[in-house]
Structure 1
Amino acid sequence: MGREIERKFLIKESEWAKLDKPGGKHLRQGYLVSDPNKTIRVRTTDDNAWITIKGISVGASRLEYEYQIPLGEGLELLDNFAEAELEKLRYEIHHQDKLWEVDVFLGDNNGLIVAEIELDSEDEKFELPEWVAEEVTQEKKYYNSNLTKHPFKLWKINVQK
């Protein structure tokens, strides 16, 4: 059984901007199925593609099954079957023997930056990098599948009212 234990955080943009980081990978991500109990997602980079099936989140955990597929098929699935899509640049940052994946969102989610860390257990201890701000693991609006339906640009409009 595949299980993902992941926590999400917002970042301190001023600290993130100062960080010496590797180049980001461009990701295109689309949802074939997106409902509260499960998602089926296709993700592509310039060179690879994956199909991922995720179950409902309970705390920071959920079932997850991910399989690499041919890039051409991934692009075909996105172009012909995705109900909704998003794009982002992903940066992989190592801190204290842990891998942090930082997503800088593009398009309708431009301006949103989210850092994720995968853990071996829900109670695993880890050190927060200086560029990490508040935790948003339990806030569903930060789920990628929800960002395709309710993008960050609409949040800003609501905040300004």
Structure 2
Amino acid sequence: MGKEIERKFLIDQQKWDNLNKPEGKLFRQGYLLTDKDKTIRVRATESKGFLTIKGKTIGATRMEFEYEIPLPEATELLDNFAISELSKTRYEITMGGKLWEVDVFSGENEGLIVAEIELESEDENFDLPDWVSNEVTEEEKYYNSNLTVKPFKNWV
């Protein structure tokens, strides 16, 4: 069984803007199914496609199965079957031996920046970079699937 343990954090915009960071990768991400217990996601990067099935999140843990698929098939699935979609630029930054994936959202979610870190266990210790601010792991409005139907620009 595949398992993902992931914590999410908001980013301090000013510190992020001043950070020396690697080149980002553009993601187009759409959902074939979204409900509170499971999602089926298709993602297209510049060179690859992925199909991902995720289970219900409990704490910071959920079942996850991800498969690489040909990019033309990912694009076709997004164009013809996605019920909702978002785009973002992902930056991968390694700090303290851990990979941080920082998503800078665009379109309807422009202005939102979220960092994720995958862990071996929910109680694993790790250092927070100084550009990280509030933890939002258990706030469902920050789930990517929810951002496709209730985008950041519409939050009050």
TM-score, length-scaled by structure 2: 0.99
Paired residues for 1:46-61 under 5 Å: 46-61=46-61
- Give the letter for the 2:75 counterpart: L
Tell me the equivalent position of 2:110. Answer: 110
Q: Cα offset for 1:6?
A: 0.1
Residue equivalent to 2:76: 76
Runs (5+) with no aligned partner, structure 2: none
- Tell me by how many angstroms 1:27 deviates: 0.1
Q: Distance in 1 between matches of 2:133 and 2:46?
A: 30
Q: Deviations over 1:69-102 (max 9, x none)?
A: 0001000000000000000000001111000000
Q: Could you tell me which residue of structure 2 aligns to residue 14 of structure 1?
A: 14
Q: C-alpha distance in 2, partners of 1:19/1:98? A: 17
The percentage of counterpart residues that share the same residue type is 65
- TM-score normalized by the length of structure 1: 0.96
The structure richer in helix per residue is: 1
Report the equivalent of 1:44.
44
Q: Does 1:137 align with 2:115?
A: no
Asked if 1:126 corresponds to 2:136, the answer is no
Please state how far the C-alpha of 1:56 moved relative to its aligned partner.
0.1
Runs of 4+ displaced beyond 4 Å? none
- 3-state SS of paired residue (1:149): coil
How many pairs are equivalent? 156
Superposed CA RMSD: 0.4
Deviation of the 1:2 alpha carbon: 0.1
Q: Which residue of 1 aligns with 2:91?
A: 91
